[in-house]
Copies of this chain bind each other. A is one copy, B any other.
Amino acid sequence: MKILSKVNFVTPVQTQIKLVEDRMRAQADERHPDLRAALEHLLSAGGKRVRPTIVLLVGSMLGGDSERLVTLSAAVEMLHTATLVHDDLIDGALLRRGTPTLNARWSPAATVLTGDFVFARAAKLAAETESIPVMQHFAETLAIIVNGELTQMFSSRGIANRENYYQRIYAKTASLFETCAYTAALISNTDDETCELMRQFGYDIGMAFQIVDDILDFTSNEGTIGKPVGSDLLNGLITLPALYYIESHPDDPDVGELAEGGYADPQRVARLVDAVRASDSIRQARGEASRFVDKALAALAAFPAGNEREALIELAHYITDREL
């Protein structure tokens, strides 16, 4: 595996990322002090700002206006943050990236409303790009994300289904990555074909990103990912590594029990996690993530070499190589 520095891809947009964070922080100015404190808490929890980085790199590569790109970046990261606030509330998660979640410290009511406020600010920032199609894509992406979560909530647990898996990770992750790259191209006044290539790029790295997250749920240790190994399986969610394992081991009795509620049995799940890790399934899932990254790289090949394109190539590699 190629060894990569983990932050290199940020270099061309480091200054702008700082502006994006300032812009996000300013969204609760003149509001209730507790709301300002909540937003500060959410933003200080950080994360790698992968989504703003995509917006800024794609937009800069295409010669987009820096100030509008900063606005768009703040909008996508606020949208992402809002969905995390409601997700953590729904899951009852008390930690995210090692920092207490909002609902660990606030009432459910205040957490619902803070998420709503962050949605409102994401919408305001999107409107400030002054692009109708950006607004429309934003609204549609939020609908896709939420519909995906509702579908997951109402779906039977422990059922293995490849089509369902791809739909789920599109809604959960790839749809917003796609929107990042596509809307960055849109506001950079480029042609339709370029916008479409960037949409494809965003989609592919988004799909790869989530597949790798799902692999890490099997291969990491609890300290690294901040949740129990195999937590997806314990929740009855069959992700790609498990799907490969199930396809090649239909006679494993633990597999047969999954659809019957076997996922709720921690010992059974622990056995299955060990079996998946020992099998070829992890390598197969990595291969699938790599195929998405290869498609993303192919979309980039049409563009002339330059700092931003190189950084996007590095970003695509980072997505499959991180923490494996």
In the complex, chain A residues 1-58 whose Cβ is within 8 Å of any chain B Cβ: 31-32, 34-35
Query: Are A117 and B147 in contact, CB atoms less than 8 angstroms apart?
Result: yes
Q: Which positions in A face B, CB cutoff 8 Å? A: 31-32, 34-35, 83, 86, 89-90, 108-110, 112-117, 119-121, 123-124, 126-128, 130, 132, 135-136, 138-140, 142-143, 146-147, 149-151, 153-154
Report whether A135 and B143 are in contact in the complex, using a CB–CB cutoff of 8 Å. Answer: no
What B residues does A146 contact at CB under 8 A?
113, 116-117, 120
A117 and B150 within 8 A (CB)? yes
27 cross-chain CB contacts under 8 A = A31-B143, A31-B150, A32-B150, A34-B154, A86-B112, A86-B113, A89-B112, A90-B113, A108-B108, A110-B150, A113-B146, A113-B153, A116-B142, A117-B150, A120-B139, A120-B140, A120-B143, A120-B146, A121-B139, A121-B143, A123-B123, A123-B135, A123-B139, A127-B135, A127-B139, A130-B132, A132-B132
Q: Please give the count of copies of this chain that the complex contains.
A: 2
Q: Which residues does chain B contribute within 8 Å of A115, judged by CB atoms?
A: 112, 116
Q: Which residue of A89, A110, A113 has the most chain B CB atoms within 10 A of its CB atom?
A: A113
A32 touches B147 (CB 8 A): yes
Give the distance to chain B from A121, nearest Cβ to Cβ, in Å. Answer: 6
**Taking CB as reference atom, which chain B residue is nearest A89?**
B112
Which chain B residues border A110 with CB–CB below 8 Å? Answer: 150, 153-154
Would you call B154 and A32 a contact (CB within 8 A)?
yes
* B135 touching A120, Cβ below 8 Å: no
